[in-house]
């Protein structure tokens, strides 16, 4: 099966599995989605959704958050992990959105990636989730893993993976492709124990790398040469 045909079939199956494709992060506007997405790095959506209501009650928007101290914000977001860096980035983003964009989260990739803590992945999530703009496909660990296993890319670089995926899927599906692949990675295509036996993709998935242990061959001890028994005791 050609890669393009495989991608079309995978998209069809993903849409059947996930008929509702809204993000699991609870956010009422672009700023809240940006904050939630930053906090979601190395953290579950469930935990983020437990933290953000209190955060937004205390600091409803970027102007309010820009006046917070590092220590105050760290205390509120501590349970999301990596709280020092996240607080630093969120405070920086709040100040820039307030000062440079009049309190409105930008609507372009070029402007979004200038915000502290916002790279292409977060920018893509915000553009699609808040504004319905498909600028690219957000690539996280789930998307990266599944894209390789499905044979959609041979790269490990998120930017190259994104380009490979954009060439395979229709533009109007890019935002949904990210959400569906993330959920599929959580529910079925686990990093350590993919549930291939119950996966509807088995008919088209080449399962690249599944069952392999990287570096196993290099770690395996060399076999000792067989000793000859010729001539009595070895």
Full DSSP string of the chain: --HHHHHHHHHHHHHHH-S----SS--SSHHHHHHHHHHTTTS-HHHHHHHHHHHHHHS-SHHHHHTS-HHHHHHHHGGGS-HHHHHHHHHHHHHHHHHHSTT---SSHHHHTTSTT--HHHHHHHHHHHH---------HHHHHHHHHTTS-----HHHHHHHHHHHS-GGGHHHHHHHHHHHHHHTS-SSS--GGG-GGGGT---TTTT--TTHHHHSPPPPPPPP-TTS--
Residue-wise burial string across 161-198, b where 16 or more C-beta atoms lie within 10 A, e elsewhere: bbbbbbebbeeebbbbbbbbbbbbbeebbeeeebeeee
Catalytic positions: 121, 140
């Amino acid at each position: 099966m050609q890669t393009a045909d495989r991608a079309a079939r995978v998209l069809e199956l993903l849409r059947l599995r996930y008929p509702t494709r809204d993000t699991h992060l609870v956010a009422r506007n672009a700023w809240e989605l940006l904050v939630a997405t930053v906090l979601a790095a190395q953290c579950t959506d469930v935990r983020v959704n437990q933290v953000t209501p209190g955060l937004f009650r205390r600091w409803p928007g970027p102007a309010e958050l820009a006046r917070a101290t590092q220590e105050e914000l760290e205390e509120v977001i501590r349970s999301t992990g990596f709280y020092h860096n996240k607080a630093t980035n969120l405070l920086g983003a709040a100040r820039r959105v307030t000062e440079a964009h009049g309190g409105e989260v930008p609507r372009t990739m070029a402007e979004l990636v200038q915000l502290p803590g916002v790279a292409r992945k977060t920018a893509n999530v915000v553009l699609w989730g808040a504004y319905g703009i498909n600028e690219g496909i957000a690539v996280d660990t789930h998307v990266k893993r599944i894209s390789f296993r499905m044979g959609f890319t041979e790269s490990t670089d998120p930017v190259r993976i994104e380009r490979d995926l954009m060439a395979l899927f229709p533009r109007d599906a890019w935002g949904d492709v990210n959400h569906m692949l993330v959920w599929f990675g959580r529910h079925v295509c686990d990093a350590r124990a993919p549930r291939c036996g119950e996966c509807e993709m088995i008919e088209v998935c080449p399962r690249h790398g599944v069952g392999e242990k990287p570096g196993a061959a290099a770690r395996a001890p060399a076999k000792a040469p067989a000793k000859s028994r010729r001539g009595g005791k070895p």
